[in-house]
Amino acid sequence: MINYFLYTSIFFNIAFLFLIITSKPKKTSFILIEKYSEYMGVLQYILEKAYAIIHKTELITFSLEGYKPDGPELQKAMVNYIDLVKKFMGPTMIESFIVFFGDEHTFYFNLMEYFHNRFENDEIRQTTINNLMKDDSVNAEIM
């Protein structure tokens, strides 16, 4: 009877260690760390491509007018951006990056932060605002 419990205990300990060693998050995070530059290059490409599409379809009119949308317009564009990033990545890559960033909340926070950073540094909007300022200063000098 004691041998039965001993063998059962040893079997479960070995099975438990096997599960720990071969767990997917550990392998995924190791692969992401080992091939960090490749994964970050793919992530950067996807983020830039998604932003370019959202900018052309939803934000370009605001940029050309020098207007900075806020509230619902910006929230809608950000949600559409995150959905587009998720479509480009696919479920396996999303899961890999969630493991890499630690949790889902942190992953989506970083996506939103990238979107806000790119939006705040919109060169078209800045150029339009600068041109409007120059036009206003020229008109003020004429009058």
pLDDT score, position 19: 47
133: Cβ–Cβ under 8 A, 6 or more apart, which residues?
Answer: none
Q: For the CA atoms of 46, 52, 57, 59, what is the dihedral angle to 10 degrees?
A: 120
What tens-digit pLDDT sequence spans the chain (143 residues)?
555 555 555 555 565 545 444 555 555 566 667 778 888 889 999 999 999 999 888 887 776 666 777 778 889 999 999 999 999 999 989 988 888 888 899 999 999 999 988 888 776 666 666 666 665 555 555 55
Residue pair 94/86 in contact by the 8 Å Cβ criterion: yes
Question: Domains of the chain: which residue ranges?
Answer: 1-26, 35-142
pLDDT score, position 17: 47
Rounded distance between C-alpha atoms, residue 113 and residue 132, angstroms: 28
97: Cβ–Cβ under 8 A, 6 or more apart, which residues?
Answer: 32, 39, 43, 89, 107
Rounded distance between C-alpha atoms, residue 106 and residue 120, angstroms: 21
Residue corresponding to tokens 């806020």? 70
Look up residue 81 and give its two tokens. Answer: 């951006």
Look up residue 105 and give its two tokens. Answer: 């909340």
